[in-house]
Amino acid sequence: MAATELDQIVNLCKRRGFVYPSAEIYGGFRSTYDYGPLGSLMLRNVKDAWVRSMVQQRDDVVLIDAAVLGPPQVWEASGHLSNFSDPLVDCTVCRNRFRLDKLDDPNVCPSCGGSGTFTEARQFNLMFKTQAGPVADAGADAYLRPETAQGMFTNFSNVLQTSRKRPPFGIAQVGKSFRNEITPQNWIFRTREFEQMELEFFVPPADGASWYEYWCEHRMEWYRDLGIPDSMLRLRPHADDELSHYSTGTSDVEFLFPWGWDELEGIAQRTDYDLTQHAAHSGERLDFFDQASDERYVPYVIEPAAGATRTMAAFLLAAYDEEEVNGETRTVLRLHPRLAPYKVAVLPLSKKDTLTPLAKEIRAMIGERYMVDYDETQAIGRRYRRQDEIGTPLCVTVDFDSLEDSAVTVRDRDSMEQVRVPIDSLMSELSTRLGI
Ligand code: ATP
């Protein structure tokens, strides 16, 4: 299979209702995107798959959902107000702006080709600032969170007390984050509004290194299990000069995007930096008393921080395939069933009234358990192709024989194989084939 071009996915996603440019009727809004009928289902599936692996299947992680709006104190303590900035340069010839650390050559403008045309770099803070309440004084300053992580640190004591967990344990969160990126680019890869899936895992300090290894391996497994091939996935340890001052080790999970290897997730050893900072700024004690050893300590933190929207782009790129079938090109999204927007499509062979009641009955039965599409327009071959293109793993065709033999045809997206299945055993057949 040839490498998927970004345009192929962007076009398919627009055409089939995965991702639209936001406020498109007004010309679009600055690299902001809306997730359509299929994209919103798929994005939810990405997040659900993460929660399943990180919370549901474990005893040592709990989920929270913290506020997006926060007071300056949180961001002072975390260091974001003073440090969360990127170096910005302007080209004095073409007036375009760039993030200096992302330029191939820091002296050459990628837009007009000018050499030595950049201004001095300025640090540009990426936080979105707003005001809470009707009075616009400094006390009303608020920020949209640029990461979900701080909600886990500020709730550390609350969760410790209410969940009765003890290190090693984690707090997970999935939700929107906002960064005033200098150069949002590559579709939903880098946007100003995006979704993150983050875990803060608190451990006794001596166990930091081994838990870091554990989470690197565990997170790589997650991407592999959901269908990203090894050839498109790698774990890249940061060089010493890339590490933040408090980090004792960070690795990025990287995906082979059409423009090269780029980050899907960062897994960082954050030591006791965040809890210590918040304890100092808030005056609250943020530590753990271990009764067994009669010791009080500030836990170390391992943070696997992934992007949900960015990861969705990677899953789509990895799944996109085109193949020749009977002299025609078949486009198929080979999405893992867990990620596919619809798991099953119910397709009555004809729109005739005689088939509709049974087809609707089957649609309702499957809808109890799985997200299901129902399509009765156009020739059956075209309807199969439509489902292939949006990644639906299974199609169930209801035909005139079904009225006699109480059986339907199940068609597999990847092999295009068709089998006749009694309606009585349809649900177990679907669940075996889907594996979910
Ligand atoms: P980058 O270097 O690409 O700006 P980062 O290292 O600052 O990213 P983190 O702060 O580690 O990113 O955020 C964790 C994850 O959140 C990233 O790996 C990415 O998947 C996602 N993410 C961060 N910024 C964006 C963005 N602007 N748009 C979409 N996803 C993002």
Q: Taking Cα atoms as reference points, which of 260, 68, 34 lies closest to residue 179?
A: 68
pLDDT for 353: 85
> For residue 310, how far is its CA from the centre of ligand 1 (angstroms)?
8
pTM for the complete prediction? Answer: 0.95
Overall average pLDDT of the 123-143 stretch: 90
The Cα 15–Cα 9 span in angstroms is 10
> For residue 187, how far is its CA from the centre of ligand 1 (angstroms)?
14
Overall average pLDDT of the 221-245 stretch: 95
Nearest ligand 1 atom, CA 192: 27
The Cα 217–Cα 219 span in angstroms is 6
pLDDT bin (cut points 50, 70, 90) of residue 1 is very low
Report which protein residue has its CA nearest ligand 1's atom 23. Answer: 307
The Cα 106–Cα 89 span in angstroms is 9
Domain 342-434 annotated CATH 3.40.50.800:
yes
CA dist list (Å): 261 to 40, 347, 415, 428: 26, 40, 30, 40
pLDDT bin (cut points 50, 70, 90) of residue 4 is confident
Overall average pLDDT of the 29-51 stretch: 97
Contact criterion met (CB below 8 Å) for 330 and 222: no
Q: Taking Cα atoms as reference points, which of 46, 31, 28 lies closest to residue 319?
A: 46
Is the minimum distance from the CB of 145 to ligand 1 under 6 angstroms?
Answer: no
The Cα 199–Cα 242 span in angstroms is 21
pLDDT bin (cut points 50, 70, 90) of residue 311 is very high
β-pairing, 394-398 vs 344-348, is: parallel
CATH homologous superfamily of 6-67+147-316: Bira Bifunctional Protein; Domain 2 (3.30.930.10)
- Mapping DSSP to helix (H, G, I), strand (E, B) and coil, where does residue 352 land? coil
Model confidence at 119: pLDDT above 60: yes
> For residue 175, how far is its CA from the centre of ligand 1 (angstroms)?
13
Cα angle: 220, vertex 314, 381; to 5 degrees: 120
Identical fold at 6-67+147-316 and 342-434? no
Nearest ligand 1 atom, CA 265: 18
Pocket perturbation via mutation, ligand 1, pick of 196, 199, 219, 262 by most ligand atoms within 8 A of CB? 196
Model confidence at 361: pLDDT above 90: yes
421, two tokens? 């299945």
Is the minimum distance from the CB of 190 to ligand 1 under 6 angstroms?
Answer: yes
Model confidence at 292: pLDDT above 80: yes
pLDDT for 307: 98
- Locus of tokens 């933040």: 244
Q: Taking Cα atoms as reference points, which of 133, 143, 144, 265 lies closest to residue 198?
A: 265
pLDDT for 273: 97
Partnered with residue 45 across adjacent β-strands are none
The Cα 410–Cα 433 span in angstroms is 10
> For residue 193, how far is its CA from the centre of ligand 1 (angstroms)?
11
Residue-wise pLDDT tens digits, 320-332: 999 999 999 999 9
Contact criterion met (CB below 8 Å) for 78 and 85: no
Overall average pLDDT of the 7-18 stretch: 96
> For residue 383, how far is its CA from the centre of ligand 1 (angstroms)?
38
Is the minimum distance from the CB of 179 to ligand 1 under 6 angstroms?
Answer: yes
Is the minimum distance from the CB of 196 to ligand 1 under 6 angstroms?
Answer: yes
> For residue 39, how far is its CA from the centre of ligand 1 (angstroms)?
20
Report which protein residue has its CA nearest ligand 1's atom 26. Answer: 190
Which region, left, alpha or beta, applies to residue 90 given φ > 0 means left and ψ of -120 to 50 means alpha? beta
Percent of the chain with pLDDT over 90: 93
Burial tier of 1 (Cβ tally within 10 Å: 0-12, 13-18, 19+) = exposed
Looking at every residue in the chain, the average pLDDT score rounds to: 96
> Where do the structural domains in the chain lie, given as residue ranges?
6-67+147-316, 342-434
The Cα 259–Cα 252 span in angstroms is 17
